[in-house]
Amino acid sequence: MADVPGAIRAGDKLAALRRTPDAVDLFQFSAAIWLTHRIHYDVPYTTEVEGHPGLPVHGPLQAVYLEQLVRSDLESRLGTRVRLVRFRYRHVAPAYVGETLSCRGRVASVDGDRISCEVWAEVDERRTTIGELDVAVT
């Protein structure tokens, strides 16, 4: 386990990652995890019965995007793989199909082979998911 090279420092911004999941993306994610909950694919049910303005984007899918944000930024800067070791996240507002999620973050601290990042997803500057994520440099 190598120490994190000095090029990565606390305060560094991560290169933002934008995702605009559509109905096909939601279907594929539901199918991949065998999630049968109607609110991610049945528009009339979701809007008329559950009262949502559209299909909500799965919370875990937003967590996937945040993990990808950290991995893609750090791996491209380090030129080596990083491994997820800890991830704490919370959904604070819904995101809906067709909305663009901007996934952002910054390096919070570097310690030995560990890099801690603060991350969040937002739609029009309204945060939908927030978290803290640590990776180890391999």
Partner 1 sequence: MATLLTDATRRWADRTYPVQHVTVAAGDIRRFAMATGETDPIHFDPEAARAAGFRDVVAPPMFYVYLRVLPNHLRPRDQLEPDGSPSEDIPPVAITGAMAGETELEVDGYLCAGDEVACHKRLVDLTEKVGRSGPLLFLLFEYRYEVAGRTVVRERFTRILR
Q: Site residues (CB under 8 A) for partner 1?
A: 19, 25, 28-29, 31-39, 42, 45, 49-50, 59-61, 63-64, 67-68, 71, 81, 83-91
Q: Which is nearer to partner 1, 9 or 18 (CB)?
A: 18
Minimum distance from residue 49 beta carbon to partner 1 (Å)? 8
Is the separation of the CB atoms in 95 and 57 below 8 Å? yes
Minimum distance from residue 13 beta carbon to partner 1 (Å)? 22
Q: Which is nearer to partner 1, 39 or 110 (CB)?
A: 39
Q: What is d(CA 85, CA 99) in angstroms, rounded to the nearest whole number?
A: 30
Is the separation of the CB atoms in 128 and 114 below 8 Å? no
Q: Which is nearer to partner 1, 122 or 129 (CB)?
A: 129
Minimum distance from residue 19 beta carbon to partner 1 (Å)? 8
Minimum distance from residue 25 beta carbon to partner 1 (Å)? 7
The helix (H) or strand (E) run that includes residue 82 is strand 82-91
Q: What is d(CA 114, CA 108) in angstroms, rounded to the nearest whole number?
A: 11
Query: Cα torsion at 126, 129, 132, 133 (round to 10°)?
Result: -120
Q: Which is nearer to partner 1, 29 or 96 (CB)?
A: 29
